[in-house]
Structure 1
């Protein structure tokens, strides 16, 4: 039995999808699984495998169930006793797909600019014409004149497929482009429509890809629209509800509030509560009310992370007037009457500003719009910050100017719900809470750990003062970044989910404007740090942070088509700015955790997208600055390049059982095994993507810290266990032991080929050294591994981690020495060392100051 816990509990019944790992050899293919709430078996549950162990048993399963927040859920390995006859039905015709989810029917078209032309509830049309629309701005300047020309582009369907077909959950994938009246075709999109059995809503996963010239076109607005069929009620009974910080603001298209009837005999209060009023018995009141203005259009615009405004107007020919201002809206709007209502939600509207929600023709035939980029803001500017690379003065990778957004993407989750009548405010708030905190089931941290499906990491351990100290420091590191997102406002359509690279204590600001030191773009694997932190704790705040980083870095920092497809951009001032386009940024190992936990189809697509990313290095050699074109198709380092390839191949192999990708992994491993220095060889090799063959070109041909700083140890350790490869384990241990040898010892063992100049940042090797210590049962190596983490001379991480408060250009909490590179690697290595060296703690005498500090930390923690 696998116990399940709620990361976020649903506030209304909904279909929830989640992932469960299994120990090797435990769950056979086609072995039945059932979902239970205590002693009650739940019928509406479906399951599918998402990954396999090398022996063919199942490694991960994806589950979906219709749930209402049940408290005692568990998965059992036993047959379902009763099969439910309820299921989603799909009708396919040459021109459309019709999805039946119970009392809801959706007709999806196969061509044209209308994606869903008809939505029925209880066989009555409640909505129509779901569509995409983008506004492109072009600019011209002549003398003192500046001209802005805005054109409307509508999303047009290229293809429609059923991507996931289940009993209670079905996902339709719609791909297309945007086209204007001149048939100019730009901006490819992917729209996933998730339909759920016996629910009244659609989850929309909108992926927008960029293919426009950033110097010519500026995106002024990006929207999803849907028409409401709610008609027939007078304007004073047509309501709008808008989610705010703590509740729901509501009005009607025509207010009962007049000069002569300020309270309208108590009817005005009912109207604001969205309770239908009948004015036929109040002729004089009705006469005054019908003379009131009719407010047809309402909108809310989140123009920054900490500000929104609500506005309304009578018609498109008149001015908007402000309703109210606020700080953090919940990203939802509902429109309707007693005859029906539609709600739209952009749950991350604040985080991914500028965004908004709008309704037009509230008193007529309402059109609702989710603005992914609000036209009330400045147009989206995708140009790089300069036409120079600043290699000499900054931390840019190459003199080559390769700053282009063409090929990147941005994905957002949206919701549309349909009601028989306008919901009460408190009912609508329940839906808002569901959308903001998407319900998800997770396993116990101890269960994730026991399955060994995630790799080598540790569970929290407070068994000694030393362990308590490190647990506090791990928590302090995460808490700092969580607060820093708020303090620095790391939000916005293109920024949310990323963090900055290096801090500047002089300006009390991150180096946001210095190439190579600004956005992190997965450098030194903060994704892995965050996911390890989640798996060991099960905390929802850590999950949210890791989820946001996964969405951002897998989409914005990577190229999905074009000349750099399969690669990602190294850290820079703009996310797509650096001349280094690297496979280490797009590697599947950074993103597979989210896929296995959520079964998200878009993330699964991205994992598939990079399975052959090694071919991209043939066109853009990652070592071109040091190795000119020669007899090899390209050159790669064993790490991070080949390590990223192996990560991609491992994920493809475990998801599909296609042994072609296992063969690619073992091909490179076998090459390294035959070399005199084995894993210490190279690290730069000739490489042929057609054969997956590494060719030795000599040793000492690059920095060895680069081999292990981007997640390679985590990939290689996992492969060693999966393949039960003792020689590979020996090679990992050999590498970890060699890293901490003295300079002379390195020279002696390699005939002066390798020395300390090749091995920078020894802290990055702490986990590898710990692996060697465990593998060889060597206490001296264990002590060296701990020294790399606890001695500031090696770790560059002063302990304890202390946050200072300064009052400069504003009151700021800062860690003056902080870099995300250092903190990511320190945390990853601590988490792994706590596992590998759990029986080999450091010598107390080696770190007396640290051990004295432990008790003070413990007391401070207790004092709180």
Structure 2
């Protein structure tokens, strides 16, 4: 590692116990901006991450957060990751701030700042009590209730928060009588993970248990977040599927709450989010009919609809009292979003009467409020319509306690079907899939949903509820600028946007074109749904004018060829919210649904398929932590942190249970096989992540153990047919199986280079440098070059767009023109010219008019984009001045 005078001074201060480095010397203030535009409103609780250059900030450092006018905001911080020298690499922060589009400044301080409002947490053997200053909450440690009560100023707002699940033993389409069981949440363990002063976080682990007590399943992992001075509670809810897909069909899955109803019926209210910030708002008993209902000659209905308190019935004249009693009261309400493109609002007076449709629309923001003029509860579900079928239900509003249910899987849709798409296996040659007995299973996959609770001491104005619906569906996030992020040296090698030459402008245009194309495809192809949202398809079928959704391994992408890296590098270099939300959805999906979290496959992921879990290939390349680090560090999301640690601990041992090359090579004296990539480099990325998160060198030693074993081999990374080695998880060493030279193209395509670029800077290991530089030099080189280096006349690697960053890296290291020329020649070929060109397809031969790119595949889009981003950083100074692709230069 390079140690300049600045870093030396910082380190010396710590060693001599001089305390934190003075702010004016150690680090300039970091500007923070909101990810999205927001209207001014009450302050909201928020957590986010900030990186630091190596050696700049030490553990235990204090910080202050200020508005543009110098007002200090409450702030809590904790370490997220460390550099090899022990200095902070990433810090997590929490604050409660006004979301008003203004910039905030984060400064290093010599001491922390105290604030009036703090979260207070008291724990005993039976329960946890949390007070935010405005909201009091009780969380039991045993039983079926996950959130016992929410109170404002001692007044109960909501309680009995739990999860319920309806399970049936068959599908709705079957003509036989279905048996249904109701399951309720049961607590196994409650842990306090953070306790203030700004943010408190409680983790609850449990299961669902049948009412009869004869069966339990669906492990639950829930985190609840509380912020000082806030009446909102954020829930991050994870369920892991551990059922029999042929017998256990989920009909409904919901968070449910009880809400006291104390006021008269006409002062009770129901609200649902519609579209474009609109709200559907009605009282339980609308005071409108044939006759005007007034008091003191004023029609009360306009104020009632706004949620204002209306006089009790006895305060009206006798004739008006009779009218009020004769008006219908509506007990039950539901908002049903069974597709991504349509929702219904319905209501009924009682269970013995029909539902009537009150409203219809396309995409609801997924928010519901139930309460009276003395208080109530709102719930927002993130990605509500995107994760259909979903629903919000409010019932028993005419009784003493209303029930509010946030259905993560709507009971008004078909039951959840987790079976494979066929009963007959199909092979690689026919459908590019690899179905193997017992492996097309959803057992062990997971799904995380996010909800936000909003407690109120009144029925709020519609504008307030609309804002909460917006926060629930599009949570605020503080971010750092791409320029600052780039300056810290995190996330390896990537470039900032640069349009300083015709060639660079052409590349930037194409990068944007690729993102725009996939954004449009997600919507026009309806890539939504509870288990699907976040993923994209693998390959296009221009004959049918659709993606190959039904052809084995050509269907869902499941991170093939680093699509997740593609989106995240596009976000961090641009700071664009729309790209962030794409990448966030992909990370949520691919880290949960495409990965096994329990069972014998825990730590491994599933290759691309018609069903996300359908392929028999279960490997670490899909579960690797490296592509999830972006989301974790930028948002501090603890669930993602759990997943990254899972794979660090379990993936290599899971490979001994399911050898990734079991169908290619016979078993050897070693526990399993591994290729340099996508196996060992993915494992190294897992360990790199655990090393930087914990500072524990045992994770680094796992990496260096593999490096040292590879360094002893005669051909480095190419020492073995098809790039295959024996691997022993007990020692983390790789073993040469034969004296052949070979390679695997996936070693350069599944996040391997991205991990390698970071390892080079972190390890400061000469053996690694030799191995990696040899790999980049010889990949795609002539047989003569390979003969000179390895003593055998053989070709290793391929040429073309996908691999251009490898010679570009060698140019970056050596400054030799031959490597830059090779990189740009590989990248700027005919495929680059037409890759994202689209056309409009219309007519009777397709279901609806679409824009299509006939030759597209996500493999091409992801690898073209990653190579473009990295070439601009590694060899941007050698991009050709003129080229047929950009002469004349194109403009955005």
Q: TM-score, normalised by structure 1?
A: 0.95
CA distance 1:182–1:726, change in 2 (3 Å): closer
Partner-residue secondary structure (3-state), 2:626 = helix
**Equivalent position of 1:742 in the other structure:** 782
Alpha-carbon distance in 2 for matches of 1:43, 1:626: 59
Any residues of structure 2 matched to 1:398-477 within 5 Å, and which?
Answer: 399-477=436-514
Any residues of structure 2 matched to 1:361-372 within 5 Å, and which?
Answer: 361-364=396-399, 365-372=401-408
Q: Is contact 2:269-2:370 (8 Å) kept? A: yes
Alpha-carbon distance in 1 for matches of 2:65, 2:286: 50
Matched, 1:341 2:383: no
Q: Is contact 1:740-1:784 (8 Å) kept? A: no
Deviations 1:409-431 (CA, angstroms, capped at 9, x unpaired): 00011011111100011111121
**Equivalent position of 1:245 in the other structure:** 275
CA distance 1:567–1:263, change in 2 (3 Å): farther
Alpha-carbon distance in 1 for matches of 2:391, 2:76: 35
Deviations 1:538-573 (CA, angstroms, capped at 9, x unpaired): 000010000000000000000000110000000000
Partner-residue secondary structure (3-state), 2:833 = coil
CA distance 1:599–1:699, change in 2 (3 Å): farther
- Using the TM superposition, name which of 91-100 and 511-520 deviates more: 91-100
Alpha-carbon distance in 1 for matches of 2:31, 2:496: 17
Task: From 295, 299, 312, give the equivalent of 2:347.
Answer: 312
Deviations 1:306-345 (CA, angstroms, capped at 9, x unpaired): 1000011112233221112100111111112221111111
Alpha-carbon distance in 2 for matches of 1:29, 1:162: 22
Partner-residue secondary structure (3-state), 2:200 = strand
Alpha-carbon distance in 2 for matches of 1:738, 1:263: 87
Task: From 252, 271, 277, give the equivalent of 1:221.
Answer: 252
Alpha-carbon distance in 1 for matches of 2:404, 2:437: 45
Matched, 1:704 2:744: yes
Matched, 1:841 2:879: yes
**Equivalent position of 1:171 in the other structure:** 201
**Equivalent position of 1:66 in the other structure:** 96
Task: From 684, 688, 700, give the equivalent of 1:646.
Answer: 684
CA distance 1:641–1:800, change in 2 (3 Å): closer
Q: Is contact 2:294-2:320 (8 Å) kept? A: no
- Using the TM superposition, name which of 251-260 and 685-694 deviates more: 251-260
Partner-residue secondary structure (3-state), 2:287 = coil
Partner-residue secondary structure (3-state), 1:850 = coil
Matched, 1:609 2:646: yes
**Equivalent position of 1:183 in the other structure:** 214
Task: From 389, 405, 420, give the equivalent of 1:384.
Answer: 420
Alpha-carbon distance in 2 for matches of 1:104, 1:699: 69
Partner-residue secondary structure (3-state), 1:575 = coil
**Equivalent position of 1:95 in the other structure:** 126
Q: Is contact 1:733-1:769 (8 Å) kept? A: no
- Using the TM superposition, name which of 501-510 and 85-94 deviates more: 85-94
Alpha-carbon distance in 1 for matches of 2:585, 2:83: 28
- Using the TM superposition, name which of 185-194 and 798-807 deviates more: 798-807
- Using the TM superposition, name which of 693-702 and 441-450 deviates more: 693-702
Any residues of structure 2 matched to 1:285-296 within 5 Å, and which?
Answer: 285-296=320-331
Alpha-carbon distance in 1 for matches of 2:481, 2:167: 48
Q: Is contact 2:799-2:826 (8 Å) kept? A: no
State how many pairs are aligned.
847
Partner-residue secondary structure (3-state), 2:778 = helix
Alpha-carbon distance in 1 for matches of 2:223, 2:782: 56
Any residues of structure 2 matched to 1:451-850 within 5 Å, and which?
Answer: 451-612=488-649, 613-682=651-720, 683-698=723-738, 703-743=743-783, 745-746=785-786, 749-752=789-792, 754-755=794-795, 759-760=797-798, 762-792=800-830, 796-799=831-834, 801-808=836-843, 809=846, 810-842=848-880, 844=882, 847=883, 849-850=884-885
CA distance 1:255–1:843, change in 2 (3 Å): closer
Alpha-carbon distance in 1 for matches of 2:595, 2:231: 35
Alpha-carbon distance in 2 for matches of 1:173, 1:19: 20
Alpha-carbon distance in 2 for matches of 1:699, 1:228: 72
CA distance 1:800–1:686, change in 2 (3 Å): closer
Q: Is contact 1:705-1:762 (8 Å) kept? A: no
**Equivalent position of 2:33 in the other structure:** 5
Matched, 1:235 2:265: yes
Q: How much does 1:258 deviate?
A: 1.9
Q: How much does 1:95 deviate?
A: 1.2
Q: How much does 1:750 deviate?
A: 4.0
**Equivalent position of 1:272 in the other structure:** 305
Deviations 1:711-743 (CA, angstroms, capped at 9, x unpaired): 111111111111223443343232222123234
**Equivalent position of 1:197 in the other structure:** 228
- Using the TM superposition, name which of 49-58 and 96-105 deviates more: 96-105
Alpha-carbon distance in 2 for matches of 1:425, 1:140: 40
Alpha-carbon distance in 1 for matches of 2:742, 2:343: 51
Alpha-carbon distance in 2 for matches of 1:805, 1:700: 50
Deviations 1:699-722 (CA, angstroms, capped at 9, x unpaired): 657643111110111111111111
Q: Is contact 2:668-2:726 (8 Å) kept? A: no
Partner-residue secondary structure (3-state), 1:832 = helix
**Equivalent position of 1:75 in the other structure:** 106
Matched, 1:373 2:413: no
Matched, 1:135 2:166: yes
Q: Unaligned stretches of 5+ in structure 2?
A: 1-28
CA distance 1:754–1:111, change in 2 (3 Å): farther
Alpha-carbon distance in 2 for matches of 1:138, 1:761: 53
Q: How much does 1:263 deviate?
A: 8.9
Q: How much does 1:281 deviate?
A: 2.6
Deviations 1:238-277 (CA, angstroms, capped at 9, x unpaired): 1111110031111111122223348995322222222222
CA distance 1:36–1:66, change in 2 (3 Å): same
Alpha-carbon distance in 2 for matches of 1:433, 1:602: 23
Q: Is contact 1:263-1:269 (8 Å) kept? A: no
Q: How much does 1:635 deviate?
A: 0.5
- Using the TM superposition, name which of 555-564 and 746-755 deviates more: 746-755
Q: How much does 1:33 deviate?
A: 1.6
CA distance 1:159–1:80, change in 2 (3 Å): same
Q: Unaligned stretches of 5+ in structure 1?
A: none
Matched, 1:212 2:247: no
**Equivalent position of 2:14 in the other structure:** none
Q: Is contact 1:498-1:519 (8 Å) kept? A: yes
Alpha-carbon distance in 2 for matches of 1:749, 1:26: 41
Partner-residue secondary structure (3-state), 1:467 = helix
Alpha-carbon distance in 2 for matches of 1:157, 1:609: 22
Partner-residue secondary structure (3-state), 1:470 = helix
Alpha-carbon distance in 1 for matches of 2:291, 2:760: 82
CA distance 1:216–1:547, change in 2 (3 Å): same
CA distance 1:172–1:215, change in 2 (3 Å): same
Q: How much does 1:444 deviate?
A: 1.1
Q: Is contact 1:700-1:753 (8 Å) kept? A: no
Q: How much does 1:66 deviate?
A: 0.9
Q: Is contact 2:784-2:793 (8 Å) kept? A: no
Q: Is contact 2:138-2:147 (8 Å) kept? A: yes
Q: How much does 1:438 deviate?
A: 0.8
